[in-house]
């Protein structure tokens, strides 16, 4: 399968998990289907789920949890 990048549609803060005490939505090696929630982006205390726009296997995260993200930045890599 070709590599695919899931990008943030909005600027904000990137989070891999729904809450600090919960496991991440996905880990490297996990299979995802189109529409699966893979991350959250927080904007002014409002959390926006980021869904996979393609199916594939998670191969990496270019950002660390809690890092700022700009619109259009890659947040999850599928391979």
Q: Which domains are assigned to the chain? A: 4-78 (2.40.50.100)
| Residue 2: per-residue pLDDT | 57
pLDDT in tens, the chain (79 residues): 458 999 999 999 999 999 999 999 999 999 999 999 999 999 999 999 999 999 999 999 999 999 999 999 999 999 9
pTM equals 0.90
| Residue 41: per-residue pLDDT | 98
CA 58-39-20 angle, to 5 degrees, is 115
d(CA 49, CA 53): 12
* Tokens 């299979």 sit on residue: 31
| Residue 52: per-residue pLDDT | 97
* Tokens 């904000």 sit on residue: 12
| Count of CB atoms situated within 10 Å of the CB of 72 | 10
């Amino acid at each position: 399968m070709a590599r695919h990048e899931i990008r943030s549609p909005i600027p904000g803060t990137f989070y891999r998990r729904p809450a600090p005490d919960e496991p991440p939505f996905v880990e490297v090696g996990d299979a995802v289907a189109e529409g699966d929630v893979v991350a959250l982006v927080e904007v002014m205390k409002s959390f926006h789920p980021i869904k996979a726009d393609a199916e594939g296997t998670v191969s990496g995260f270019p950002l660390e949890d809690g890092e700022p993200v700009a619109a259009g930045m890659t947040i999850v890599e599928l391979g």
